[in-house]
Amino acid sequence: MKVGIVQTNPEFGQVTQNIEKAVTGISQHEADLWVLPELFNTGYQFKSKEETAALAEEIPGGPTTQRLIEFAKEKKTAIVAGLAERAGDKVYNASILVNRTGEVFVYRKIHLFYEEKLYFTPGDLPFSVHSVEYRASNNQVLKAKIGMMICFDWIFPESARSLALLGADIICHPANLVLPHCPDAMPVRCLENRVFAITANRIGSETRTKETLRFIGKSQIVDPRGKILFRASDTQEAVQVLKVNPKEARDKQLNPYNPLLDDRRESFYLGLPSV
Ligand code: ACM
């Protein structure tokens, strides 16, 4: 399966320009699945609830989702991308998975970071996984299970674990990272769950308030053994396609004695609902 990652530098509020730049970047390559950053169409540093609501879009009716549907159908690919979602009087920091037939699945960021708490409603949908088709080298049509989480969700191991328990082969992880730790943490998330992870981050900075936010780049693709297959720079935009085998994520047997997920001892863990 060919998976593609895009590292962008969006200009705040320039939605059409940001979308077209990202779409043009990936048009020159072929992949079965693309992952774009969090809030890739708007930029990150909102200043008010009104501004956030004005830049948020309905899913799937809004122009960003419609443009990605058009692209996915035309190129017969799947795309994951982050955007602000307006749903009634609420605004979510969301991501969408658009598959090659134009079907759309939504994830709403569960763990909001820092001032996102002022402008977004915390996600209210459970983690979920969805099938994405790809062609094997013998032209056979196969399916990979795709799960989504957004940026700061990484610091809660429960996010990746939930997706692994749901059967995700690949965690698609749109991000706008400002803390330095995530690129080093994601290989551990992959190792402890035996999944692939594609973290698509942005570069550049925004100073729309008294504070400057610098985004750390280092978008990366990590395999189920925790190996970093690709890592982008911290300053340059990037597009990279790699071939991965989703089936590698389905072998959870560490050795003859340790099936990774079945070996969990839930009754000894804190913070889980009692069964
Ligand atoms: C983040 O969650 N955007 C840091």
Give the distance (Å) from ligand 1 centre to CA of residue 131: 26
Sketch out the chain's domains with CATH numbers: 2-268 (3.60.110.10)
If we measure between CA atoms, which residue out of 131, 134, 129 comes closest to residue 193? 129
Catalytic (active site) residue 74: no
Ligand 1 atom with minimal separation from the 177 CA? 4
Query: pLDDT by residue (tens digit) across 1-57?
Result: 999 999 999 999 999 999 999 999 999 999 999 999 999 999 999 999 999 999 999
Residue 151, ligand 1, Cβ within 6 A: yes
Does the annotation count 133 as an active-site position?
no
pLDDT reported for residue 275: 53
177 lines ligand 1 (CB under 6 A): yes
Higher pLDDT, 131 or 273: 131
Q: Is 246 exposed, middle or buried (0-12, 13-18, 19+ CB in 10 A)?
A: buried
pLDDT in tens, 83-117: 999 999 999 999 999 999 999 999 999 999 999 99
109 as an active site residue: the answer is yes
**Is residue 46 within 6 Å of ligand 1 at its C-beta?**
no
Q: How far is the CA of 90 from the centre of ligand 1 (A)?
A: 19
pTM of the model: 0.97
Question: Of 177, 211, 213, which is best to mutate to test ligand 1, by the most ligand atoms within 8 angstroms of its C-beta?
Answer: 177
Residue 23 is predicted with a pLDDT of: 96
Is the beta carbon of 215 within 6 A of some atom in ligand 1? no
